[in-house]
A and B are shown apart, each in its own frame.
Chain A
């Protein structure tokens, strides 16, 4: 299972990547999550401007067999939704790249430190 070293991870299988400006981040679901969900057919996201608390639901991922909520890894505000996700299978094909879900302004960049690094996440998923 692919678990890139430069990302932070949640127990709910989201990843978050702090961008170069140190204040905004991309959020998506992990390779493990897309694999567990199977064919993803629909990604529904809260609109731009939504203020999220840590662990707050920011959307749902609908797969053929099941549906899963998306939880904000850290507190912040949604700045941008990934328009590419009209083709929801992008999340299956490229979960860490083209398949990112939201760009958010992170309320407190140091809050990422509390999340799992790649080694801890790999251990959690039994990899």
Chain B
């Protein structure tokens, strides 16, 4: 089992630790509800160092990445990041990831922890056709810390005064000094709140973590585990690999059409996407339930005539709305907000309805 550089800090803080994709990670400190609310009202600090980090370099690096991802990376400028997807030839999803364009021949990729080895092997397998492209896996040397919430930038500017948040637009990043080394600070996140994700050498993870917590204490900054990270992303309707998307899901049937550029030129999986585009059968939608039982992944979903129309991808209680919410992969006729649905939980059908995503609209977005 792998540990992050902050592992002993989490243990000392009394976090509950779980196995997540082969990593020992904090699922909660004070409690999922309290941590979730802290992020929506003040700020939260997340250790997401388990995520994978690759460099892709070379004269043909852009051309290579265009061929293995769905979004149009040529539209980015230096210092910009892009959310994108890697597909199998059959249109199933290898992983979703963020690509950071450092310059025209240097790209940095952040991928899901559970897919890290698979992704690297997939990239290696396809890089051979692009002469001079170099891949390197830095996942064991780099940490990733996310600072998210309405107070995130005022806290960050006390620790890294050079941040100049007003001139750092969403999905842009900047390299900034900290304790004599360089951090990559990106205005990205997985909560819907304002904030950053900071990639840095392992040795600096704990100093930065503690400096941010000290600087943010009076603003209500707290450490946040993977439990609240999940409820926060689900309130926003963001996909999680293994739930809304996986190797059997086509992005056009999972609310991800906006990251699939059919016109940019050939990429692995484009023909499969073209077929799905002509005749999409499923889609992912948000739903809420009237009762108090929570839907879980795999629960069956039925229409008003009690015909099965799909399955739950993710389910939880919304700490903000205080009602059971979730996402489901459904036959396309049932995606419209307001459509009545029934979710089978422990053998009984719980009434609910399709909801517009996101469930929650943070004030600062």
Task: Give A residues with C-beta under 8 Å from B.
Answer: 36, 38-39, 41-42, 44, 60, 62, 64-65, 67, 92
- Please determine whether A39 and B31 come into contact, CB atoms closer than 8 angstroms: yes
- Please determine whether A62 and B227 come into contact, CB atoms closer than 8 angstroms: no
- Identify which of A38, A62, A64, A92 contacts B292 (C-beta below 8 A): A62
Q: A60-B346, A64-B32, A65-B27 are in contact. Are A42 and B293 (CB under 8 A)?
A: yes
Q: How far is the CA of A66 from the CA of B33 in the complex (A)?
A: 14
Does B316 touch A at the CB level, under 8 Å? yes
Minimal beta-carbon separation of B81 from chain A (angstroms): 30
Minimal beta-carbon separation of B343 from chain A (angstroms): 14
Does B148 touch A at the CB level, under 8 Å? no
- Please determine whether B293 and A64 come into contact, CB atoms closer than 8 angstroms: no
Q: How far is the CA of A65 from the CA of B316 in the complex (A)?
A: 7
Does B194 touch A at the CB level, under 8 Å? no
Identify 14 new A-B residue pairs, CB closer than 8 A, beyond the known A38-B227, A64-B294. Answer: A36-B16, A39-B31, A41-B294, A42-B292, A44-B292, A62-B292, A62-B294, A64-B33, A64-B227, A64-B231, A64-B316, A64-B319, A67-B294, A92-B31
The contact sample of 15 A-B pairs, CB cut-off 8 A, is: A36-B16, A38-B16, A38-B27, A38-B31, A38-B32, A39-B33, A41-B294, A42-B292, A44-B292, A44-B293, A62-B294, A64-B294, A64-B319, A65-B227, A67-B296
Minimal beta-carbon separation of B225 from chain A (angstroms): 10
- Please determine whether A65 and B293 come into contact, CB atoms closer than 8 angstroms: no
Q: How far is the CA of A74 from the CA of B317 in the complex (A)?
A: 32
Inter-chain contacts of B293 with A (CB < 8 A) = 42, 44, 62
**Binary CB contact string for chain B from 22 to 33 against chain A (1 if under 8 A, 0 otherwise):** 000001100111
Q: How far is the CA of A60 from the CA of B27 in the complex (A)?
A: 22
**Binary CB contact string for chain B from 204 to 241 against chain A (1 if under 8 A, 0 otherwise):** 00000000000000000000000100010000000000
- Please determine whether A65 and B32 come into contact, CB atoms closer than 8 angstroms: yes
Q: Could you tell me which residues of chain B, from 110 to 143, have a CB within 8 Å of some CB in chain A?
A: none
Inter-chain contacts of A42 with B (CB < 8 A) = 292-294
**Binary CB contact string for chain B from 2 to 30 against chain A (1 if under 8 A, 0 otherwise):** 00000000000000100000000001100
Minimal beta-carbon separation of B242 from chain A (angstroms): 15
- Please determine whether A41 and B292 come into contact, CB atoms closer than 8 angstroms: yes
Q: Could you tell me which residues of chain B, from 310 to 329, have a CB within 8 Å of some CB in chain A?
A: 316-317, 319
Inter-chain contacts of B16 with A (CB < 8 A) = 36, 38
- Please determine whether A38 and B28 come into contact, CB atoms closer than 8 angstroms: yes
Q: Most chain-B CB neighbours within 10 Å: which of A38, A39, A41?
A: A39
Identity of the chain A residue whose Cβ is nearest the Cβ of B228 in the assembled complex: A64
Q: How far is the CA of A85 from the CA of B28 in the complex (A)?
A: 23
Inter-chain contacts of B346 with A (CB < 8 A) = 60
Inter-chain contacts of B32 with A (CB < 8 A) = 38-39, 64-65
Inter-chain contacts of A62 with B (CB < 8 A) = 292-294
Inter-chain contacts of A36 with B (CB < 8 A) = 16
